[in-house]
């Protein structure tokens, strides 16, 4: 397993470089212009100068290595400089966003708190709710609980957030006036009251997002549990006189986790990809909003950096999932 | 790690063969009649099937009976409420000519739901089938053949990392005009969108199937089958695929919903169908701003999407139960 | 009646706002606490020289101010300057080649240092520095030098005679920045100055405390602001993001915000929101006109590199009767009612404002005339084929109609499609993501400049009140074509010697009445040739809480131009 992990990590490096190249070429090919959002009153000559100032005058084979250098050399240098007060970077150009003209990593760091609070929290909540629902639904298949769970999760999954989010706002912000409809990203939690406020502003977006996660994970959990509950080893375990809770929790759940682990592992990068529509609706302005604004504004450095970071996460999470398969089912061998 | 091997009861190799092999109790019955009998006992699945047939007829035969042009604007007849509102509120503007009401430009909502359903269902089904086909194929190949695993899974990582929006923009740029020339404006866009959604949503299915196949192929019954020289193709179709059916069914259900919703998100971003082609997702999206004054405009398309997804889910459940005899009787 | 109000053009604005200021609502600075503003498009930077976007300009206008700016009626008023220089008061030289501004005395930056003419000169240097990519370069066009004879005097010298010399240092686009702060940020170094770009030191009523790009910023009252007792608010929270409907909801329905910018929503949605009585909608009209451009060149893909160029005239849109029929078939009143309601006005001109430039020669377009349109096409020999589509000599009247993705535009498309089909023109609709449509990526076929469609629809306007550069959009030379990398503003590829002659005459004419005559003549030529079909004169509409006083919506300058005068109306 260790050699496998090591080999996979090594293979990841060329894989990621290739992914970076493909993403870059995709963005390069995609139509779109960072000047598109400028008013039409700005004349074409001025637009052209602005484009040149953004470095768009250079061909792709100059800009791609430049980005790679900035990402892998300059940015780490700045972190080291910040941490230890050294001066490795020596004023080298960092990755600069086209839109805000500021280093993209600063903006990404700024977006982390609300992304983790809302999207991350909703994911944790969603998974924590989904697992028991999935287990009970499968164990008591076609019970009232199972039917209700199926109904709610499928409705939840098929109602798009641009509708459910607005519906929640209309009910809880406009009619009842209980919850704020606009997320305050500058809010600092430092005492009980501010914590309550934070909970209030989080609850609606977290609910909308958690519903989606719950629906998905619980369906896979249920299906996989059902497959395993019928296996012979379950009968044997019961015959051996094991208590029902041990049979279910220790054997069946463990053996049912493979698809669930896959789904959860694939979901984690998407936390950092943010929840584009939900963030827009509640104005959480996390990474999802950053990415969509960057995409709409053809902010290539920003899009490139965020999608590449996501790619790193995806590769990492899939590696972790593969290792977990081996732990969950030791018969799986990679070597 | 605990020692889990001793706790796993060894399966008798002979009886644990192909778990999905049809239990041909009565010789006169064929396998599919059996499946159908089992399917019928699942109430949800039967309901799902009926609803799906109903909604399919509604969107296909419906426009023949209700032959109002969905794109026809009648500005004097705008904002007509659905007919049942007239029962509660006699002052409401209702008309038998528009039983579900009209939108803000006077387009008939019923005709639009029918027309929109055609496109939404077509997009949903096609994208779902494409997703399942790609996901299952890649997943099984990667899980079963170790030498394909590395390359296929790295490819999966790559596609997972691609941002959908620029990808679609590039596809539009490269293929829209040739497809438009070859298939006409509507079909060209349809192919583009279906392919776009299809090729960007198979990865989860692929990874799940692969994970399951990897675990399955170390099971005793697979080893047994292999030891008697079963060729790879038969191994996959007879022994592995039936055992990964459950997660595939779930992927299918979720995939259908995702495709319908993704299509509406694309319309919203200007990458979808032209504005004169309604889809359920788009009708829903366009109506969100007016949902307090005209709740029916969000309820109809919302219900249509939800119930379709729900019925596909129940059919999936019923089918899975019917095809896998172990699950029954628990 | 409607026509009359349309002709009033710029004059439309709330008359009560200045009165409220005059009614003695005074007190100490910062007395009214916090004001919350929501822009559904979030500002990404606070330096208007690095981003030309409206959201950035308006956000920056809380801090940065120009020498003079436009008021709600489009009149120039002195802001940091003592007065607006004119030829009459000697501020503008007789040959129109230089203008002399005098700064007010005792102006301070928010950090307490004095504002001098050096700062003004520096603002010009900053924008024109090589490699800086200044978004407002056009404002400083033809400036050869800026002299600073003393601390308060600035002389701007132009290389040519400028009948309208109010480009540099005027309006929200070209404010004064502090030399001490930006001295190290010239040219290519501009993007490295993140702290400066996110927190410019200005003379305006507020000072940035925390800026988060594309999200939110907070600002507090400027202690060194030149007017005592202003601003009334101690702090501003300026939130961005979301969509227009959510912004409207936050002001009208939940009351969480005091001011929401540019609510591009269907009129029935907006008026529905306003029924709660918490907020109110305000509107002002500038020069924005939603219009259809007609392609005079052949966009068909078979022509390869030469598609959309003057070498290949359009197969049927070059026939004036077709264009005329298309215009006659449109019911502009209905379009405007559906799409904009009271936030749009009828117009038959591409140049609808200011009032002196507004022509009345084309008002016939206001009445829809399907029968007349059919008659025009019949007379021109276009006969309906079996499928109802007219054709002549094997050419079918089939148009591809493109625009950007936007709910109102799609409604317009649907309505116009129906009318054009009634006169036997087949219509295919296409909507394109705004970031592609309004982009100028030479690799994309879908930009509004390439115009690889038969007709396209969008809105355009011009900065300030002088239409000279706007009317220059439709000279032959400005047609986008491969040689210009498809840059240029003459989307219809209209080309007329007479038009070019009028434009040349306008460039050398200083007299305002004469300029108005020329602008109208150019407008009328475009209208009567049916090159551009104006649809709606669009207003800018925003909403504010009823407890927020002093709002005076301004379309000629930043909407937040008078935020120093805003105050809370007591309960």
Note whether C429 contacts B71, CB cutoff 8 Å: no
pLDDT score recorded for residue C292: 94
Q: Which of A136-140, B78-82, B323-327, C170-174 has the lowest mean pLDDT?
A: B323-327
Query: Over 50: is that where the pLDDT of B171 sits?
Result: yes
The band of C7, judged by pLDDT with boundaries at 50, 70 and 90, is: very low
Mean pLDDT within B177-195: 83
CA-CA distance, A321 to A257, in Å (whole number)? 11
CB C207 within 8 A of CB C63: yes
Query: Over 50: is that where the pLDDT of C21 sits?
Result: no
Q: B290 to chain C, minimum CA–CA distance in Å?
A: 6
Cα separation values, A171 from A161, A162, B218, C10, Å: 15, 15, 53, 40
pLDDT score recorded for residue B270: 64
DSSP string, B45-101: HHHHHHHHHHHHHHHHTHHHHS---TT---GGGTTPBPTTHHHH-TTS-B-TTSTT-
The band of C417, judged by pLDDT with boundaries at 50, 70 and 90, is: very high
Q: Which residues pair with C216 in a beta bridge?
A: C212, C239
Percentage of chain A beyond pLDDT 70 is: 99
Structure token pair of residue C477? 């030379």
Neighbours of C513 (CB within 10 A): 9
Chain B residues with CB-CB distance to A18 below 8 A: 158
- Closest C-chain CA to B276: C414
* Nearest neighbour of B105 by CB, restricted to C414, C444, C445: C414
Note whether C243 contacts A285, CB cutoff 8 Å: no
Chain C residues with CB-CB distance to B289 below 8 A: 245, 265-266, 269
The band of C18, judged by pLDDT with boundaries at 50, 70 and 90, is: very low
Who has greater pLDDT, C101 or B183?
A: C101
The band of B325, judged by pLDDT with boundaries at 50, 70 and 90, is: low
Query: Over 80: is that where the pLDDT of B30 sits?
Result: no
Mean pLDDT within C63-78: 91
Q: What is the pLDDT of residues C204-244, one digit of tens each?
A: 999 999 998 888 999 999 999 998 888 999 999 999 887 88
Note whether A230 contacts B268, CB cutoff 8 Å: no
Note whether A231 contacts B173, CB cutoff 8 Å: no
Query: Over 60: is that where the pLDDT of B161 sits?
Result: yes
Structure token pair of residue B203? 């990865």
Chain C residues with CB-CB distance to A177 below 8 A: 254
DSSP string, C428-496: EEEEE-HHHHT---TT-TTSTTT--SSEEEEEE--SSS--HHHHGGGSGGG---GGGTT--S-TT----
CA-CA distance, C152 to C167, in Å (whole number)? 19
Q: Which of B272-276, C364-368, C497-501 has the lowest mean pLDDT?
A: B272-276
CB C447 within 8 A of CB C439: yes
CB C456 within 8 A of CB C402: yes
The band of C17, judged by pLDDT with boundaries at 50, 70 and 90, is: very low
Query: Which residues neighbour B12 within 8 Å (Cβ) at sequence distance 6 or greater?
Result: none
Who has greater pLDDT, C132 or A201?
A: A201
The band of C15, judged by pLDDT with boundaries at 50, 70 and 90, is: very low
Q: Which residues pair with C81 in a beta bridge?
A: C103
Q: Which of C37, C99, C21 is nearest to C67 (CA)?
A: C99
Note whether B246 contacts A333, CB cutoff 8 Å: no
CA-CA distance, A37 to A295, in Å (whole number)? 12
Q: Which of C433, C402, C444, C403 is nearest to A30 (CA)?
A: C444
Average confidence score pLDDT of chain A: 85
Helix residue ranges, H only, C24-156:
54-60, 117-128
Note whether C338 contacts B105, CB cutoff 8 Å: yes
Chain C residues with CB-CB distance to A171 below 8 A: none
pLDDT score recorded for residue B27: 52
The band of B269, judged by pLDDT with boundaries at 50, 70 and 90, is: low
Query: Over 80: is that where the pLDDT of C565 sits?
Result: yes
pLDDT score recorded for residue C9: 37
pLDDT score recorded for residue A11: 87
pLDDT score recorded for residue B3: 38
Mean pLDDT within B301-316: 86
pLDDT score recorded for residue B10: 39
Cα separation values, C458 from A6, B78, C407, C408, Å: 56, 25, 13, 11
pLDDT score recorded for residue C379: 93
CA-CA distance, A257 to A267, in Å (whole number)? 15
pLDDT score recorded for residue C169: 93
Q: B97 to chain A, minimum CA–CA distance in Å?
A: 28
Query: Over 60: is that where the pLDDT of C5 sits?
Result: no
Q: A78 to chain B, minimum CA–CA distance in Å?
A: 26
Average confidence score pLDDT of chain C: 87
Buried b (16+ CB within 10 A) or exposed e, C246-262: bbbbbbbbbbbbbbbbb
CA–CA–CA angle C129, C133, C137 (5° rounding): 75
- Closest A-chain CA to C433: A296
The four Cα atoms C369, C374, C375, C379 give a dihedral, to 10 degrees, of 140
The band of C14, judged by pLDDT with boundaries at 50, 70 and 90, is: very low
Note whether A29 contacts B154, CB cutoff 8 Å: no
pLDDT score recorded for residue C25: 65
**DSSP letter, residue C540:** E
Q: What pTM was computed for the model? A: 0.83
Mean pLDDT within C74-89: 91
C326-355 residues touching B, CB cutoff 8 A: 334, 338
CA-CA distance, B44 to B50, in Å (whole number)? 10
Query: Over 80: is that where the pLDDT of C455 sits?
Result: yes
Chain C residues with CB-CB distance to A40 below 8 A: 438, 458, 460-461, 489
pLDDT score recorded for residue B18: 45
Q: Which of C8, C114, C56, C14 is nearest to C565 (CA)?
A: C14
CA-CA distance, C229 to A30, in Å (whole number)? 52
Note whether B309 contacts A157, CB cutoff 8 Å: yes
Q: Which of B313, B221, B252, B229 is nearest to B21 (CA)?
A: B221
| Numbered ranges of CATH 1.10.3720.10 in chain A | 106-328
The four Cα atoms A34, A35, A37, A38 give a dihedral, to 10 degrees, of 150
* Nearest neighbour of B254 by CB, restricted to A216, A224, A315: A216
Neighbours of C302 (CB within 10 A): 9
Strands C567-568 and C548-549: antiparallel
Query: Over 90: is that where the pLDDT of C289 sits?
Result: yes
CA-CA distance, C526 to A279, in Å (whole number)? 45
> Mean pLDDT highest for which of A17-31, A260-274, B15-29?
A17-31
pLDDT score recorded for residue B5: 36
In CATH, which superfamily holds the domain spanning A106-328?
MetI-like (1.10.3720.10)
The band of C331, judged by pLDDT with boundaries at 50, 70 and 90, is: very high
Note whether B204 contacts A303, CB cutoff 8 Å: no
Q: What is the pLDDT of residues C273-286, one digit of tens each?
A: 888 888 999 999 98
* Nearest neighbour of B250 by CB, restricted to A219, A303, A330: A219
- Closest C-chain CA to B189: C430
Structure token pair of residue B214? 């990897």
Q: What is the pLDDT of residues C148-161, one digit of tens each?
A: 999 999 999 999 88
CB C453 within 8 A of CB C428: no
Q: Which of A284-298, C224-238, C361-375 has the lowest mean pLDDT?
A: A284-298
Query: Over 80: is that where the pLDDT of C570 sits?
Result: no
Percentage of chain A beyond pLDDT 90 is: 6
Interface contact C254, partner B, CB < 8 A:
no
- The greatest distance separating any two alpha carbons of chain B, rounded to the nearest whole angstrom, comes to 78
Mean pLDDT within B11-33: 50
Chain A residues with CB-CB distance to B147 below 8 A: none
CA-CA distance, C462 to C182, in Å (whole number)? 29
Q: What is the pLDDT of residues B91-144, one digit of tens each?
A: 777 777 788 888 888 888 888 889 889 888 988 888 889 888 999 999 999 999
pLDDT score recorded for residue B105: 82
Query: Over 60: is that where the pLDDT of C101 sits?
Result: yes
Note whether A141 contacts B284, CB cutoff 8 Å: no
The band of B326, judged by pLDDT with boundaries at 50, 70 and 90, is: low
């Amino acid at each position: 397993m260790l050699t496998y992990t090591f080999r996979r990590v090594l293979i990841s490096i060329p894989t990621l470089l290739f992914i970076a190249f493909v993403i870059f070429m995709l963005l390069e090919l995609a139509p779109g212009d960072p000047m598109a959002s400028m008013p039409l009153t700005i004349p074409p000559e001025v637009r052209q100068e602005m484009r040149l100032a953004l470095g768009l005058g250079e061909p792709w084979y100059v800009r791609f290595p430049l980005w790679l250098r900035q990402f892998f050399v300059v940015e780490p240098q700045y972190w080291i400089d910040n941490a230890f007060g050294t001066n490795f970077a020596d004023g080298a150009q960092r990755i600069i966003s086209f839109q805000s003209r500021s280093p993209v990593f600063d903006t990404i760091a700024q977006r982390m708190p609300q992304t983790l609070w809302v999207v991350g929290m909703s994911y944790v909540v969603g998974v924590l709710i989904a697992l028991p629902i999935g287990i009970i639904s499968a164990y008591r298949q076609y019970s009232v609980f199972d039917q209700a769970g199926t109904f709610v999760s499928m409705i939840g999954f098929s109602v798009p957030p641009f509708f459910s989010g607005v519906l929640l706002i209309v009910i809880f912000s406009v009619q009842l006036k209980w919850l704020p409809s606009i997320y305050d990203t500058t809010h600092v939690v430092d005492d009980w009251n501010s914590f309550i406020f934070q909970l209030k502003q989080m609850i609606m977006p977290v609910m909308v997002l958690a519903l989606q996660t719950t629906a998905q994970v619980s369906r896979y959990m249920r299906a996989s549990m059902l497959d395993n509950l019928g296996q012979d080893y379950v009968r044997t375990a019961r015959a051996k006189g094991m208590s029902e809770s041990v049979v279910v929790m220790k054997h069946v759940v463990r053996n049912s986790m493979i698809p669930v682990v896959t789904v959860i592992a694939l979901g984690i990068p998407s936390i950092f990809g943010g929840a584009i529509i939900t963030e827009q609706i509640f104005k959480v302005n996390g990474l999802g909003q950053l990415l969509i604004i960057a995409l709409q504004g053809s902010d290539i450095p920003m899009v490139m950096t965020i999608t590449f970071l996501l790619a790193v996460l995806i590769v990492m999470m899939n590696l972790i999932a593969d290792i977990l398969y081996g732990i969950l089912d030791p018969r799986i061998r990679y070597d | 790690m605990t020692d889990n091997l001793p706790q796993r009861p060894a399966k008798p190799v002979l009886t644990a063969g192909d778990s999905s092999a049809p239990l041909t109790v009565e010789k006169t019955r064929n396998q599919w009649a059996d499946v159908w009998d089992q399917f019928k006992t699942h109430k949800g699945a039967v309901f799902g099937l009926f609803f799906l047939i109903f909604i399919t007829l509604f969107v296909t035969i419906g426009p023949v009976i209700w032959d109002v042009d969905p794109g026809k604007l009648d500005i004097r007849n705008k904002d007509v409420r659905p007919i049942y509102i007239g029962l509660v509120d006699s002052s409401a503007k209702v008309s038998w000519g528009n039983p579900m009401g009209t939108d803000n430009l006077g387009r008939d909502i019923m005709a639009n739901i029918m027309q929109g359903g055609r496109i939404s269902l077509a997009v949903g089904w096609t994208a779902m089938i494409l997703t399942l086909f790609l996901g299952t194929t890649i997943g099984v190949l990667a899980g079963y053949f170790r030498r394909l695993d590395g390359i296929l899974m790295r490819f999966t990582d790559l596609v997972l990392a691609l941002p959908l929006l620029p990808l679609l923009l590039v596809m539009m740029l490269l293929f829209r005009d040739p497809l438009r020339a070859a298939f006409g404006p509507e079909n060209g866009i349809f192919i583009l969108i279906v392919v776009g959604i299809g090729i960007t949503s198979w990865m989860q299915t692929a990874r799940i199937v692969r994970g399951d196949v990897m675990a399955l192929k170390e099971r005793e019954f697979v080893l047994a089958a292999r030891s008697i020289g079963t060729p790879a193709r038969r191994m996959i179709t007879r022994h592995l695929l039936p055992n990964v059916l459950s997660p595939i069914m779930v992927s299918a259900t979720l995939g259908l919903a995702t495709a319908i919703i993704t299509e509406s998100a694309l319309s919203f971003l200007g990458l979808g169908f032209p504005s004169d082609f309604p889809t359920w997702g788009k009708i829903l999206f366009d109506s969100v701003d007016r949902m307090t004054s005209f709740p029916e405009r969000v309820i109809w398309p919302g219900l249509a999407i939800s119930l379709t997804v729900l019925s596909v889910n129940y059919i999936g459940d019923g089918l899975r139960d019917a095809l896998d005899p172990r699950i029954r009787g628990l | 009646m409607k026509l009359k109000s349309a002709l009033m053009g710029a004059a439309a604005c709330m008359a009560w706002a200045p009165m409220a200021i005059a009614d003695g609502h005074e007190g100490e600075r910062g007395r009214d606490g916090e004001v919350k503003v929501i822009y559904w498009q979030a500002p990404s930077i606070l330096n208007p020289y690095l981003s030309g976007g409206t959201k950035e300009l308006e956000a920056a206008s809380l801090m940065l101010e120009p020498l003079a700016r436009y008021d709600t009626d489009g009149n120039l008023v002195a802001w940091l300057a003592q007065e607006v220089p004119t030829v009459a008061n000697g501020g503008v030289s007789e040959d129109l080649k230089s203008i002399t501004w005098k700064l007010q005395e005792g102006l301070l930056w928010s950090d307490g240092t004095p504002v001098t003419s050096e700062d003004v000169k520096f603002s010009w240097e900053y924008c024109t520095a090589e490699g800086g990519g200044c978004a407002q370069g056009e404002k400083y066009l033809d400036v050869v030098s800026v002299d600073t004879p003393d601390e308060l005097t600035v002389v701007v010298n132009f290389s040519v005679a400028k009948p309208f010399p109010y480009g540099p240092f005027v309006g929200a686009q070209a404010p004064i920045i502090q030399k001490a702060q930006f001295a190290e940020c010239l040219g290519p170094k501009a993007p490295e100055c993140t702290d400066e770009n996110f927190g410019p030191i200005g003379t305006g009523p507020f000072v940035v405390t925390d800026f988060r790009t594309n999200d939110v910023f907070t600002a507090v009252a400027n202690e060194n602001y030149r007017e005592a007792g202003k601003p009334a608010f101690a702090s501003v929270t300026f939130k961005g993001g979301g969509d227009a409907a959510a912004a409207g909801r936050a002001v009208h329905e939940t009351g969480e915000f005091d001011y929401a910018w540019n609510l591009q929503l269907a009129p029935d949605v907006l008026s529905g929101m306003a029924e709660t009585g918490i907020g109110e909608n305000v509107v002002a009209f500038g020069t924005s006109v939603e219009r259809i451009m007609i392609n005079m060149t052949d966009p068909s893909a078979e022509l390869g590199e030469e598609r959309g160029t003057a070498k290949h005239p359009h197969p049927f849109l070059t026939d004036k009767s077709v264009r005329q029929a298309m215009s006659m078939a449109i019911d502009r009143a209905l379009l405007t009612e559906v799409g904009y309601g009271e936030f749009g006005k009828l117009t038959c001109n591409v140049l609808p404002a200011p009032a002196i430039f507004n022509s009345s020669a084309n008002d016939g377009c206001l009445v829809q005339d399907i029968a007349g349109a059919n008659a025009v096409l019949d007379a021109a020999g276009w006969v309906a084929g079996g499928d109802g589509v007219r054709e002549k000599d094997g050419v079918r009247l089939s148009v591809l109609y493109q625009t950007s993705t936007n709910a109102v535009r799609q409604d317009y498309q649907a309505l116009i499609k129906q009318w054009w089909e009634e006169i036997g023109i087949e219509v295919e609709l296409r909507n394109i993501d705004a970031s592609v449509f309004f982009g100028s990526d030479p690799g994309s076929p879908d930009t509004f400049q390439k115009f690889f469609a038969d007709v396209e629809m969008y809105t355009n306007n011009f900065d300030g009140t002088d239409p000279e550069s706007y009317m220059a959009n439709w000279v032959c030379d400005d047609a986008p074509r491969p040689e210009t990398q498809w840059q240029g503003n003459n989307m219809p590829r209209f080309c007329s010697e007479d038009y070019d002659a009028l434009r040349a005459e306008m460039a050398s004419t200083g007299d305002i009445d004469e300029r108005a005559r020329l602008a109208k003549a150019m407008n009328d030529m475009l209208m009567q040739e049916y090159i551009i079909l104006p649809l709606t004169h669009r207003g800018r509409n925003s909403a504010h809480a009823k407890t927020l006083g002093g709002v005076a919506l301004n379309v000629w300058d930043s909407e937040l131009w008078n935020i120093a005068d805003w105050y809370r109306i007591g309960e």
